[in-house]
Structures are given as C-alpha cells and as structure tokens.
C-alpha cells in the first residue's frame, strides 16, 4: 500500500493556450484531512478531473491510491469517493432509489454510516432528488459518499452555495462520521472558516502550481502584519523583503510580509520609520495575502 | 466514576490565534478562575470536536499542550482530568507578565482621572473577591 | 448495471408511453382512412425519418444531460465498467424506442390482420422491427456523436445511411440495418469512457470511425462540390442548363422539339431532304425511359402501391407478396372479394400458374407489368391476359406509346413496335412488327423520338443522359423503320458535352477510392464509361500529393507518433480529400501553449 493517496509528477494540463496545471508535483500522505486552497482558476477542478481519469494530462503523470489515474479500474473507483460542488445526483430519481443503486454498486457499503450521516437531515426516502433543497442534496451526497467506505474521499467545494445553517450541518455531519479515522479526506474550499475548523494540512495551489503545504498554524506563522509610521518617503515595494501586500492607510504604512523575522522592524526603522508595530494574522488574512501577491492588479 | 464537567467554551474562526491556541487559552482561564475544578474529567477529544464542529486532531493537539503544561493530567484508559494547580511559569516570566498587565492597566486607568487611592482600593476588592471564589 | 438500466428506463418511461399511445392513436386514425400497408415508398421514408429523428432526439437529450461534467463523473465514477454503464443506458433506450416506435406499429398491423380483410404479408411484420432498428441505430450514432471527442465526429450519424447505400431488400435490408445497429453499438462502447476528450485507444475503433467519417465526407464532398460548381457557373452566367444552352450540346438536343431534333439528327445530307421535310409535318412522339424499379418478392416497401380499383364492381385489388396474387376487398362492405392471379380470378386453391412471377406494377388500372411481361386486366369479365412478353434479357422501361397505327414499347435493349388495333382490341399476346436494337445502354439514354412517315417510321435515339455528371459519351442516331420490317440506320452524330472535363470526373477526382469502389460494385451505373483521360489522372495525382503534404505537416504539429503519422500520410495519398478532411477533423490544428511569465505586485495605495 502506497504511503501517498495522491501523487503527481510534473503534471501539466493545458487548454489551448491556457495552462491549468503547470508541472505540478504533489504528494498527499495517507490519513487526515487535507485542505486544498486556491483562487478560482488555480487548477483545482482540473486536478481532480485528471486524478480521476476524466481528463488526460498534457504532460507528467498522476497516481491515486498507487494506481495510474488514466488506468483506474472499477475496483479502484469503488475505493475513491468524490463529491462535487453541484452535488450532481440524478434529479429524476427518489432518494431511496439512488441509495438502492449505490448500495448495489459498492461492495463495502456501510448502511449504519449512511443512516448516521443522513440523520443530520430531513430527507424522506420517496422524495425526488430534484425536490430536495441544496443543503439536503449535499447531505445525501455526503451520506452516499461516506457509506461507500472510501479510502480516499475528495470533497470539491461541497458547501458552495449553501446557507450558514446548511454549511454548519454539512461540517457537523462530516465530523460526526469520524470519516478521518477510516479514510483520507481531500477538502477543497474557498471558505477559510471551514478550513480552519477541518484542515490538518493546508495545500495552496496557484495557477496550477503547488505554492505551499504544511499545517495551517505553521502557515500562519510565516506571515506577519507590520504597521510603520514613515514620515518621509516609504521604500519602493520592490525593495521590501517578502512583501505580499502593501497599503497606506491614513499616514501609516501597512505591510503584510512572508518569512520575515523580527529584523523586519529593524529594516523599517532603517527606512526612516519613527514607530513600528507588528501582529500575527488570521488564516483568512494569511491565505488572502499569500494569494494576493501574484494577482494581476492595475498599477498603483 | 469521575464527574465530568462541561467545557463551556466557544471558539472563533478568523481569529489571529489558531483554534487549538484558543482552546488552550480558554481552558487555562477556566482553571485559573476556578471554573474548572481539579479532579474533574474533561470532554473527550471527539466530544469537544463535535461540540465545537472542529477537527478532532485540533482538540487533541490543544489537550496535549495543556497536559504538557500541567493544566491537565491524563489517566490512561480513563481520560483527561483537571490537574491540581501548581505554578507553571518561571519567576522571570511571571515578573514580565505582571509588568505587562500593570502597564496596560495603568494606560487604561490614567485617562479616567480617578485618584490613585480609589483605583487601588477597587483593585484590592476585585483581587480579594477572586481569591475567595477560588478557595470556595 | 441492472439498477442503472431501471433508473434510466424509469426516467423516460412516461414520455415513451405517451409517445407510444399518441403514435398508436395516429396509426389507428390513419388506418381508418387508408391502407397503411399499401403506400408508396415515400410514405415509409417519411415515417423512417420521423423514427430516426425520435432516436436522435432521445440520444441528444439523454447524452447532453449525462455528459455535463458533474453528471458524467457521477455516472462513470463508480465500481462498474464503463461498457456496462453504456449498455445499461443504451438498453433502456432500446426498450423505450421499442415502446414508442415498434409496439404501436405491431399493434396496428395486428389490428389490420385480425379485424380487416386487408392484406398483411409476412414482410409487413418486419416493418416494426425495421422502424425500431432505424430509430435505435440513429440513437446509437447520435449518442456517439454527443460523446465524441471531436465535433467532426458528428459524421458518425452517416452510419445508418448504410442501409440506403447498400442495394438490399426485404430481410436483407433489415439485416443491413441491424448490422448498422451493431456497428454503432460497438462504436458507442469504444467512445464511452471517462475521458471525453481523447479518441478511443483501440486501433479497430479508430479505423471504424475514420471509415464511417470518410464515407460520409465523400458523399458530402461530392454533393457540395457539384452544387458549388453549378451555383458558381450560374453566378458567372455560364451555366450550360441556364438560359440558352451551348450549340451542339446535349442540353440543346434534350430541349429541342421532336421535329427539330429529328432534322438535326439527319444532318444536311441531301439524301434525307425529303425525310427532313416529312419529319416536320408528320405526327410525332417523344418520350424517355423512366426509372426501372420493379418490386421484388419479400421487399419491405414498394416504389408505388401495388393495387388498383375495379370501378365497375367497387372492388380494390391489392397485391399480396405471400400469395403472389391480388386480393380483392369490396370498397363498400369491406368484405373479402377473392383472389386474382395472372390467369384471372382464382377458383379454389391457387396454383403456381396463378402466381405472378414478380410483383407487378400497375398502370391505368388495367396493365399489370412485371419486368418482362405485360398483363392486361379486363374489368368486364375479370380476366387477365398476357399481352406482351419481352425476351428475358430486357425489361420494360416506359409505358406503351401509341403513334399513328402503331404501339411502341421501349425495352431496355430494343424498341418494339406493335400493331395498335391488335394490342388495344385483342386479348392475345402481340408480336413485334419491328424490332429496333438500341445502340447504347438504357441508363444513358435520354430520349426517344418517333415520327410517322408515309411509309414507315423515323426514330431518333438520344444518348447522353448521364453526360452532365459522368464521363459517358453523348450522341444521337436516327433510324428508319420500313413498312416491310427492315431497319435502316440513317445517321449518327456526336453531341457535345456541356460541362467541363474535370466536372464530369468530379467523383473520380475528389473521392477516387470511394468512387472506384462504387464503380466496381456496380452502384454507379454508367455502362458507357470510357477510360479516364490523362488530365483527370494528373488531377488525382496532384491532389493526392497535396493531401499527403498537408497531412504530413499537420501530423507533425499534432504530435502524432511516427508510425501513426506514416500510416495517415500513406492512407490520405490513396483516399484523397475525404481522408485529409477526416484527419483534420480528428486532429484539428492545435493551439500551442504560450510561455507565461509575469509577477505583478498587488498594491493599493
């Protein structure tokens, strides 16, 4: 058994001139909850489609559960759960019919798990999928995915478009299921709150490249917010080490910087700062700052 | 059967402190103020994770830190219990923290224009009240 | 797999049943009005088109829903082999189309057989199966086109047309349709895999796809270019059939009146001065061979209904393939009115001698025509008589034509001349007064003109009907039939061909392989074709080289493996334009990914 549930080597995928994945080398170890974060277009969806063999790579290779993505057998597919953001289920079928179908298809079906997860929702067996609310559909989808007893569960923005209550219900159902005890969870989301609550490991993708992988706390520690009062000319952005974000608010300069120790204060003082203060940042701000760096912005 | 005590804490996402740090801080405060009685059992890792809707690993991490610092003690096969309090900080650290707290207090109070006696009297009352509650 | 099949069936069952019920009601209503089993080919073609469209619609809707990215992952990402998933979906469609298309037809035919005196032959029971095969075949091809990784693969929809291209009838035609269904099902299985952007990996599947596409492209190319040239010439004002045709050409001859054509055929020879004069004033007739499409036993459909009415007795006679006899139904009472064979009304059990040797076409409610024999039905005594028997090597190509005191019958090899009073008044078989052997193949013959002379007949045969679009010669010959039965060849002139050389060889130039194949198989009827001229050979060679060069260039850009590249280049050298087009559709000019490099700092000041 491979120690990694997901391995990619120099994985690239282009659509015409656009590169969705750019020589991505990623190894996700077995176990725990891994959050994948990235701006829209960071290549997350493309990555999942390549991983599941729904899209061939332009270059490089990928393996899931030790098996080449392009040669997944039905048996392998049975061990990989996938929940997408639309919670696509056949709308014309009733909840019980969909469940009966999945139950027949998956050899390791766990009925207790299914009932437990669905217990968080009010889904009537004879209800048509198309009549369920988005939150209920998400819950049913999660119940179906967890009941398959997957070794790897990929959740691609599962709470997208859900209201606050439904979002919380989804997280609760996921956490209550103790899914992490049996399988590795890949959780892809834009919701920093969810990632803070769930993630053991934070994977940041940007433009199809791996930018960061560590625990969320370790990531936050790399980033710090500094405020300086510089009465004269502030340093050029290009000269500020590790700069992610620079802002001038009232008369003060705010810098969000990456991988700078306390001597960043000394740097600011050397640049003529009369007064320097620093503080840690939340995960939300850290990720935003990190991703903002390479965003195209109109020249200030 | 040890008595289990509810852990009435809440965590906030979007805070500069990671969730495990928030749990550590909250438990410390509750032990320090006597809200958590030594010898009582804490919620299980799963239970607290469920209560707070967070990853159990995060709770485990916080509990590990609290245990290492001596706030909690682990009884194998039984669970985690509130430890009997003892001083956990070095004398220098205690000194530094006291300085910080007094500085902050003075900053806040000085603009209120109370005579120093009044302020000291009130502060004395508060500290005495805390001491009684703790020993109760 | 069972669950998927049931789920998919349940999804469309209501719609399928509704379609089926409406279909049955429409059939029942139509059956009250007309005999649906005795309709011209066109009616069955229209019905086939409707069924094909039904299949296409189902495929388009079903697959467009399934192939949405999320739904596709849901459908295929499960511990089930894709082929089994495909079979579940297609199986559900097969059942649905049976309910919607075939079952109502079966019920209707059953109703006709049980509750009416109308003819229901064995072949009719095959019609529902045919309808189902058409609908399901088109469904499968539609599903292939929907799931195909390239848009150009919509050409796979040409596959069901196979049954139109192959000259088979009856059970043979059904077999061809079922073969198309099998082929399409095989293609669907190869296209039904998670990755919808790549061509199937199996070589056999690729070859099959390329073949179907090329056949479709060959048809399309031929017709697009033909129409393109025609419209181009029209736009330039130089279209030979538009306005005044070129002098001495086939179009001019084809449009001339009989007198002018006969005179032109005789030329300026002084010996024929008198004939030219007579040709202008004598009684004339002009006609041409029609399409010789004789029905065969067991054929599923006929070019026209094989039935006629006996107005005096208010009977309708419809031909039964099973019996080889006409069956009568009283139009007023809808009662059975007996059987009619080639010896007249059948008394008691029918003998082999009563049975028509081939299903006859019916003209003028009186003439029953098989390829070699013309029978006449007399309503007065309900008798049937053999009137004309052609030699076995030829068949009737046109209805008998009366001119003066003669009746002229154009066979596929000879013109037969009979005495009109003998033919019209008598009941016995008539004998040739004159026999004029045709001096060219009937397929290329455009027109026959005859003029009654004072002593005998003047006959002009105009050849070159196919000279517009094919490389066959065009000429006119004039004969004189003397009263004593002698046939004298008077004159022959070559007629100019109105279209340019390359246009007449368009099929050869544009689709050399496919055209040669059709020619060898005899699907292109041009018995008079000459050898290919040098210019055409050169054009074919030049196009082949061009196709190979473009293929080589594009194959390198598309990043094909050397072996595959070589195969394509060689193949396209042989297949020409259809090969090149199919290649370009499968490997469209790719856009190269651009190197990117930019680091813009995000600042808000």
CB-neighbour burial class of residue C469 (10 A; exposed 0-12, middle 13-18, buried 19+): middle
Residue A298 lies in a domain: no
State the CATH number of the domain containing residue A61: 3.40.50.300
Q: Is C165's pLDDT higher than 80?
A: no
Provide the shortest C-alpha distance from residue B16 to chain A (in Å): 4
Q: In whole angstroms, give the CA distance from residue C551 to residue C583.
A: 7
Residue C429 CB partners (closer than 8 Å, separation 6+): C385, C386, C387, C388, C389
Q: In terms of domains, do C80 and C151 share one?
A: yes
Residues C457, C549 within the same domain: no
Domain assignment present for C559: yes
pLDDT category at C528 given cuts 50, 70, 90 is very low
Q: Where is A20: in which H helix or E strand?
A: strand A18-29
CA distance B52 to chain A (A): 9
Q: Are residues A143 and A203 located together in one domain of the fold?
A: yes
Do A117 and A68 sit in the same domain of this protein? Answer: yes
Q: Do chains B and C touch (3 or more CB pairs under 8 A)?
A: no
| pLDDT at C395 (0 to 100) | 92
Place of tokens 């008369």: A251
Q: Does domain B19-82 have CATH number 1.10.10.10?
A: yes
Residue where a domain terminates, one of A218, A253, A279: A218
Higher per-residue confidence, C235 vs B135 = C235
pLDDT value at residue A298: 43
The mean of the pLDDT values for chain B is 84
Whether residues C490 and C508 fall in one domain: no
Closest in A178, A193, A279 to B13, CB measured: A193
- pLDDT for position B31: 84
Residue A96 falls within a domain, yes or no? yes
Q: Are residues C154 and C226 in the same domain?
A: no
Which residue, A218, A243, A268, sits at the end of a domain? Answer: A218
Chain region(s) in chain B for CATH 1.10.10.10: 19-82
Do residue A26 and residue A133 come from a single domain?
yes
Is residue C301 pLDDT above 50, yes or no?
yes
Q: Give C383-452 as a DSSP string.
A: EEEEEEE--TT--B-S--EEETTEEEEEBSSEEEEEEHHHHHH--SPP--SEEEE-SS-GGGEEEEEEEE
Q: Is residue A299 part of a domain?
A: no
Residue A288 located in a structural domain: yes
pLDDT per position as a tens digit, B55-72: 998 999 999 999 988 888
Interface of B with A in 19-78 (CB under 8 A): 19-21, 46, 49-50, 52-58
In sequence order, the 6+-apart residues with CB closer than 8 A to the CB of C376 are: C366, C367, C368, C384, C385, C387, C427
Contacts of B54 in chain A (CB under 8 A): 175, 197-198
* Identity of the residue in C69, C81, C194 whose CB atom sits nearest the CB atom of A53: C194
Residues 6 or more apart in contact with residue C239 via CB below 8 angstroms: C230, C233
Instruction: Examine the domain organization and report whether C366 and C477 are in the same domain.
Output: no
Decide if A2 touches C, using CB distance below 8 A.
no
Do C19 and C163 sit in the same domain of this protein?
Answer: yes
Q: Which of A82-91, B100-109, C25-34, C517-526 has the lowest mean pLDDT?
A: C517-526
Shared-domain flag, residues A202 and A186? yes
CA-to-CA distance for B106 and C525, rounded, in angstroms?
111
Written as six digits, the tokens of C531 are 């050898």
Q: Is residue C213 part of a domain?
A: no
CB-based contact, A164 to chain B, within 8 Å: no
Beta partners for A276? A228
Same domain, A236 and A127: no
User: Which of A186, A218, A250 marks a domain boundary?
Assistant: A218
- Residue after which a domain boundary falls, among C362, C393, C424: C393
The answer to whether residue B136 scores a pLDDT higher than 80 is no
Tell me which chain B residues have a C-beta less than 8 angstroms from the C-beta of A171.
Answer: 53
Mean pLDDT across B119-134: 82
Please report the sign of the dihedral spanned by the C-alpha atoms of residue A30, residue A31, residue A32, residue A35. positive
Range of the domain at A142: 4-218
Domain boundary residue, one of C498, C521, C541: C498
The answer for residues whose C-beta is within 8 angstroms of residue C596's C-beta and 6 or more apart is A19
A243 touches chain C (CB under 8 A): yes
Domain boundary among C365, C393, C421: C393
- Tell me, what's the ipTM? 0.90
My answer on whether A202 and A233 are in the same domain is: no
Residues C424 and C488 in one domain: yes
Alpha-carbon gap, residue A26 to A42, rounded angstroms = 14
pTM of the model: 0.85
The parent domain of residue C403 ranges over 248-290+397-498
C362 close to C306: Cβ distance less than 8 angstroms:
yes
Mean pLDDT for all residues in chain C: 87
Least confident interval from A238-247, B116-125, C334-343: A238-247
Quick check: A102 and A109 in contact, CB under 8 A?
A: yes
- C352 inside domain: yes
Domain harbouring A245, CATH code:
3.30.70
Residues C178 and C88 in one domain: yes
Residues A70 and A163 in one domain: yes
Neighbours of chain B (3+ CB pairs under 8 A): A
Residues C67 and C190 both lie in one domain? yes
* A232, two tokens: 């004269």
If asked whether residues C275 and C405 sit together in one domain, one would say: yes
Nearest to A77 among C4, C79, C593 (CB): C79
Report pLDDT digits (tens) over C45-75: 999 999 999 999 999 999 999 999 889 999 9
Chain A's closest residue to C588, CA to CA, is A16
Do C417 and C484 touch, CB atoms closer than 8 A?
no
Provide the pLDDT for residue B133. 61
Quote the CA–CA distance of A261 and C316 in Å, as a whole number.
105
Query: Per-residue pLDDT averaged across C410-426, rounded?
Result: 89
Q: Are residues C528 and C557 in the same domain?
A: yes
* pLDDT > 70? residue C276: yes
Report the domain count for chain C: 4
Residues of C within 8 A of A97 (CB-CB) are: 7, 10
* Tens of pLDDT, residue by residue, chain A (300 residues): 568 999 999 999 988 888 889 999 999 999 889 999 988 778 888 999 999 999 999 899 999 999 999 999 999 999 999 998 889 899 889 999 999 999 999 999 999 999 999 988 889 999 999 999 999 999 999 999 999 999 999 999 999 888 888 888 899 888 888 777 788 999 998 888 899 999 999 999 988 889 899 998 899 988 988 898 888 777 888 888 888 888 888 888 888 888 888 888 888 888 888 888 888 888 988 988 888 875 544 433
Q: How many domains does chain A have?
A: 2
Residue A191 belongs to some domain of the structure: yes
- In angstroms, the CA C4 to CA C62 distance is 13
């Amino acid at each position: 058994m491979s120690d990694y549930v997901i391995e990619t080597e120099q994985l690239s995928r282009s659509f015409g001139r656009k590169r969705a994945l750019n020589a991505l080398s990623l190894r996700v170890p077995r176990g725990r909850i891994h959050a994948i974060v990235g701006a829209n277009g960071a290549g997350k969806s493309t990555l999942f489609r390549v991983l599941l063999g729904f899209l061939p790579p332009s270059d490089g290779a990928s393996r899931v559960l030790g098996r080449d993505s392009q040669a997944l057998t039905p048996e392998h597919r049975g061990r990989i759960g996938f929940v997408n953001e639309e919670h696509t289920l056949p709308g014309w079928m009733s909840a019980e019919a969909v469940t009966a179908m999945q139950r027949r298809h998956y050899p390791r079906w766990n009925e207790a798990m299914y009932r437990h997860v669905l217990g968080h929702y009010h889904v009537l067996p004879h209800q048509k999928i198309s009549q369920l609310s988005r939150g209920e559909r998400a819950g049913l989808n999660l119940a179906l995915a967890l009941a398959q007893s997957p070794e790897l569960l990929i959740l691609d923005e599962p709470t997208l478009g859900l209201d606050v209550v439904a979002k919380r219900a989804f997280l609760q159902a996921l956490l209550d299921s103790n899914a992490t005890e049996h399988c590795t969870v890949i959780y892809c989301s834009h919701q920093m709150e969810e990632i803070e609550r769930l993630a053991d490991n934070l994977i940041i993708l940007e433009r199809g490249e791996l930018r960061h992988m560590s625990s969320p706390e370790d990531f936050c520690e790399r980033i710090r917010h500094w405020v300086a009062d510089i009465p004269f000319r502030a340093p050029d952005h290009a000269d500020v080490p590790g700069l992610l974000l620079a802002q001038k608010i009232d008369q003060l300069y705010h810098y969000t910087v990456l991988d700078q120790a306390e001597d960043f204060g000394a740097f600011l003082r050397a640049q003529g700062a009369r007064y320097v203060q620093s503080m840690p940042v939340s995960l939300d701000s850290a990720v935003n700052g990190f991703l903002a760096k390479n965003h195209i912005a109109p020249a200030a | 059967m040890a008595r289990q005590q509810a852990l009435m804490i809440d965590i906030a996402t979007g805070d500069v402190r990671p969730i495990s740090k928030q749990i550590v801080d909250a438990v410390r405060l509750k032990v320090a103020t006597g809200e958590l009685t030594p010898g009582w059992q804490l919620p299980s890792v799963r239970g607290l994770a469920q209560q707070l809707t967070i990853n159990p690993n995060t709770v485990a991490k916080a509990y590990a830190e609290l245990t290492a610092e001596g706030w909690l003690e682990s009884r194998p096969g039984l669970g985690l219990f509130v430890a009997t309090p003892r001083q956990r900080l070095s004398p220098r650290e205690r000194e530094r923290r006291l300085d910080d707290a007094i500085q902050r207090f003075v900053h806040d109070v000085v603009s209120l224009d109370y005579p120093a006696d009044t302020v000291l009297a009130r502060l004395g009352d508060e500290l005495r009240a805390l001491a009684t509650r703790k020993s109760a | 797999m069972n669950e998927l099949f049931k789920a998919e069936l349940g999804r469309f069952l209501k719609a399928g049943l509704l379609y089926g019920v409406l279909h049955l009601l429409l059939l029942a209503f139509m059956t009250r009005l007309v005999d649906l089993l005795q309709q011209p080919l066109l009616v069955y073609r229209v019905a086939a088109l409707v069924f094909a469209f039904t299949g296409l619609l189902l495929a388009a809707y079903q697959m467009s829903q399934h192939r949405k990215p999320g739904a596709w992952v849901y459908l295929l990402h499960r511990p089930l082999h894709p082929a089994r998933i495909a079979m579940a979906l297609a199986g559900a469609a097969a059942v649905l189309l049976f309910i919607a298309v075939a079952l109502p037809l079966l019920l209707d035919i059953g109703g006709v057989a049980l509750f009416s005196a109308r003819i229901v032959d064995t072949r009719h029971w095959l019609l529902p199966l045919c309808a189902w095969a058409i609908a399901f075949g088109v469904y499968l091809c539609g599903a292939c086109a929907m799931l195909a990784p390239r848009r150009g693969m919509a050409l796979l929809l040409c596959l069901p047309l196979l049954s139109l291209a192959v000259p088979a009838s009856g059970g043979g035609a059904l077999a061809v349709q079922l073969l198309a269904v099998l082929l399409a099902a095989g293609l669907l299985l190869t296209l039904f895999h998670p990755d919808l952007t790549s061509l199937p990996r199996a070589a056999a599947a690729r070859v099959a796809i390329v073949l179907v596409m090329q056949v479709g492209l060959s048809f399309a190319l031929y017709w697009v270019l033909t129409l393109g040239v025609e419209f181009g010439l029209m736009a330039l004002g130089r279209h030979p059939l538009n306005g005044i045709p070129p002098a001495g050409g086939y179009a001019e001859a084809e449009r001339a009146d009989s007198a002018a054509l006969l005179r032109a055929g005789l030329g300026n020879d002084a010996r024929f001065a008198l004939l030219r004069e007579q040709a202008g004033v004598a009684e004339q007739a002009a006609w041409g061979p029609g399409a010789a499409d004789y029905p065969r036993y067991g054929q599923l459909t006929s070019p026209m209904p094989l039935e006629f009415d006996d107005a005096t007795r208010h009977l309708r006679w419809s031909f039964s393939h099973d019996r080889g006899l006409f069956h009568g139904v009283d139009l007023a009472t809808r009662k059975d009115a007996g059987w009619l064979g080639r010896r007249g009304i059948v008394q008691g059990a029918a003998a082999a001698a009563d049975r028509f040797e081939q299903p006859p076409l019916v003209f003028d409610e009186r003439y029953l025509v098989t390829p070699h024999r013309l029978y006449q039905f007399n309503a007065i005594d309900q008798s049937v008589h053999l009137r004309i028997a052609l030699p076995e090597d030829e068949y009737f190509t046109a209805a008998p034509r009366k001119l003066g005191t003669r009746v002229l019958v154009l066979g596929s090899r000879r013109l037969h001349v009979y005495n009109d009073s003998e033919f019209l008044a008598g009941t016995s078989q008539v004998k040739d007064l004159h026999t004029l052997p045709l001096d060219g193949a009937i397929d290329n013959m455009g027109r026959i003109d005859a003029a009654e002379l004072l002593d005998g007949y003047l006959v002009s045969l105009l050849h070159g009907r196919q000279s517009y679009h094919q490389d066959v010669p065009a000429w006119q010959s004039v004969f004189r039939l003397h009263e004593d039965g002698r046939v004298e060849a008077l004159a022959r002139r070559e007629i100019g061909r109105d279209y340019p050389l390359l246009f007449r060889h368009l099929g050869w130039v544009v689709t050399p392989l496919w055209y040669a194949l059709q020619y060898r198989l005899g699907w292109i009827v041009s018995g008079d074709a000459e050898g290919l001229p040098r210019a055409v050979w050169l054009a074919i060679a030049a196009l082949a080289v061009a196709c190979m060069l473009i293929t080589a260039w594009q194959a390198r850009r598309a990043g094909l493996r050397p072996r595959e590249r070589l195969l394509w280049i060689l193949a396209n050298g042989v297949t020409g334009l259809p090969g090149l087009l199919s290649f370009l559709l499968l490997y469209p000019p790719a856009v190269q990914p651009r190197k990117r490099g930019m680091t813009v700092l995000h600042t808000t000041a």
